[in-house]
Amino acid sequence: MKKEIGIVFIGLAFISLLGGLFFGSLSSFQFVIPGFLDSFPFVKSRPLHVSLVVAWIFLSAIGGIYYFLPKHVKLELYSDKLARIHFWIFLITGVLILTCYFIGKFGGREYWEFPPILSIPIFISWILFGINYFKTIVGKIYHWPIYLWMWATGIFFFFFTFTEAYLWVFPFFRDHIVRDITTQWKAYGALVGSWNMLVYGTAFFIMERISGDKTVAKSKLSFAMYFLGLTNLLFGWAHHIYIVPSAAWIRNVAYLVSMTELIILSKIIWNWRKSLTESVKKFHILPFRFLVASDIWIFINLVLALAISIPAVNIFTHGTHITVAHAMGSTIGINTMVLLASCFYIVQDITKTQFNSLQQKIVKAGFWITNVSLLTFFISLIFAGAEKGQMVIEDKLTFQEIMQHISPYLTVFAFAGIGIFIGLLMVIFPALRAIFRYLRGNA
């Protein structure tokens, strides 16, 4: 465990993902069917779902970084002890947060609905992580490849945006509604950008390892994409606050920045034939399979993201299920697929596990069930959001009547969520079993 702390993070990440999917499936049916499982209400199941999925993203990304640095980048980790302390802080704080949700003790806001006092150990854990990361790489390697820059940026900006997300505890922000909403949504938008840096840095690293081509992570195009992503992290958040009466220049800059994503979109289209050719050659490799899926979901989600970034469209879609579709497409279709590629690469590398034919069939079947279910999930939310947005603008029906009108779409969405849960369970179970076997053998 001392030498391979990364695999411990990965194991906990898999458990968090399965827990998040379970509570997500439960909350979706509670949202669709009033009174469903009243003994454990939606107000508890939803934050459990959100917190566990966010934990999956961070645990798997952090676990990958802790594993890749000493194993493949050939940089000895500054402190194994700090990494282990980091893990235990994460685990203990996570248990306390989940306990608060189960007993109905809240006090925070979106993403962080737990009592604010529990944010303190999270701050401490990221300080430890930052010290460990920067002490490991600074002065030890020159001409950093793109993934080292992305990981560094993600670590710094998570700490910064997490701090912003708690400015509401001060009356200066909390007592002024425009200032409060603007700061809060700025923090959340940039927060997503920070964890995207961790995820996309991981994607670059895995692509380099699979292809064996180290020039990709140091190319001018890769760094151009990095700075474009950094610009979106710094300024693109403001498309969340078109409806807030903030300064006009903020909304205009956000619109222009969000439109720069067309560069990424055009790049994806330009390389599409090449990607398909490579996918045919390497689709049997599990990590590559997940990267191909993430590539497709990037394309799908960028089309939607660009559409809802247009102010006239954003007014129509903001707060509807279209926003949820965008969030789920990013979280499951892009981030989760990239992180699964990383996790499977690590599991196969560290445990020397070669899945037998039955396990490979289960994982592949789960892969297809997940993606088909996610596409159904995604489309049903878009239709539900479009219907709701139109009816809200027309202002002819009550909220209850609107929800009844779109309930068929939401029913499809709920069952598609079950499909995602089953599919990812089939994907994760063989890998999680291999991790437990490895840890027992190295206890």
Please report the pLDDT score of residue 114 as a whole number. Answer: 92
Return phi, psi of residue 254, to 5°. Answer: -60, -40
Kindly report the pTM of this predicted structure: 0.90
Pairwise CA distance, residues 252 & 233, whole Å: 16
CB 414 within 8 A of CB 321: no
CB 7 within 8 A of CB 350: yes
**Please, what is the Cα angle at 154 between 299 and 69, to 5 degrees?**
100
Please report the pLDDT score of residue 48 as a whole number. Answer: 94
49's enclosing H/E stretch is: helix 42-71
pLDDT (tens digit per residue) in 132-170: 999 999 888 888 999 999 999 999 999 888 988 899 889
Residue among 438, 421, 283, 424 nearest 347 (CA): 438
Please report the pLDDT score of residue 264 as a whole number. Answer: 65
Please report the pLDDT score of residue 285 as a whole number. Answer: 77
119 to each of 58, 141, 416, how far by Cα in Å? 15, 33, 33
CB 436 within 8 A of CB 11: yes
Buried b (16+ CB within 10 A) or exposed e, 275-288: beebbeeeeebbbb
Pairwise CA distance, residues 11 & 13, whole Å: 5
DSSP, residue by residue, 296-355: HHHHHHHHHHHHHTSHHHHHHHTTSHHHHHHHHIIIIIIIIHHHHHHHHHHHHHHH----
**What residues contact 83, with CB distance under 8 A and at least 6 apart?**
5, 66, 77, 132
Residue among 130, 132, 122 nearest 54 (CA): 122
Residue among 273, 341, 390, 384 nearest 64 (CA): 341
Please report the pLDDT score of residue 316 as a whole number. Answer: 74
Please report the pLDDT score of residue 1 as a whole number. Answer: 42
Q: What Rg value do the Cα atoms of the chain yield, rounded?
A: 21
For the record, the structure tokens of 207 come out as 């692509």
Query: Mean pLDDT of successive 10-residue segments in the chain (443 residues)?
Result: 78 96 92 82 90 95 94 90 95 96 88 91 94 92 90 93 89 86 82 88 88 79 82 75 71 71 60 59 76 86 78 72 83 91 90 76 93 94 84 74 84 93 94 88 64
379 to each of 98, 322, 334, how far by Cα in Å? 31, 9, 16
148 to each of 9, 27, 236, how far by Cα in Å? 19, 37, 23
Please report the pLDDT score of residue 283 as a whole number. Answer: 61
Say how many Å lie between the first and final Cα of the chain, rounded: 7
Alpha carbon 194 to its chain centroid, in Å, reads 10
Taking CB atoms within 8 Å and a gap of at least 24, the contacts of 207-213 are 207/291, 208/145, 208/147, 209/72, 209/345, 210/282, 210/285, 210/287, 210/288, 210/291, 210/345
For the record, the structure tokens of 129 come out as 């992580």
For the record, the structure tokens of 82 come out as 């700090």
Pairwise CA distance, residues 66 & 42, whole Å: 36
Pairwise CA distance, residues 45 & 30, whole Å: 9
